[in-house]
Amino acid sequence: MSDVEDHVRATIRYWVWGGYYGPRDFDQMIEDIIEEGVTTEWAQSIVQEEIARKTAAEAHWPARTDCDRLDEAFSRLDSVGICAVQNAGYTSSDGHEEVELALDQRGRDRCHGYCFFHGQDLERAIDGHGLMLAFGDLRDDVKRSASVAQQVCSEMRAAGFAVQWNGDVGQRIEITSIDWKRRLKR
Radius of gyration, alpha carbons of the chain: 18
Contact 20, 86 (CB under 8 A): yes
Please give the DSSP secondary-structure letter assigned to residue 129: S
Residue range 117-175, pLDDT digits in tens: 999 999 999 999 999 999 999 999 999 999 999 999 999 999 999 999 999 999 999 99
Would you kindly state where each structural domain of the chain is located, as residue ranges?
3-58, 66-175
Residue-averaged pLDDT of the chain = 95
Q: pTM of the entire structure?
A: 0.94
Asked whether residue 32 carries a pLDDT value surpassing 90, the answer given is no
Cα–Cα dist 183/19, whole Å: 6
pLDDT score recorded for residue 130:
98
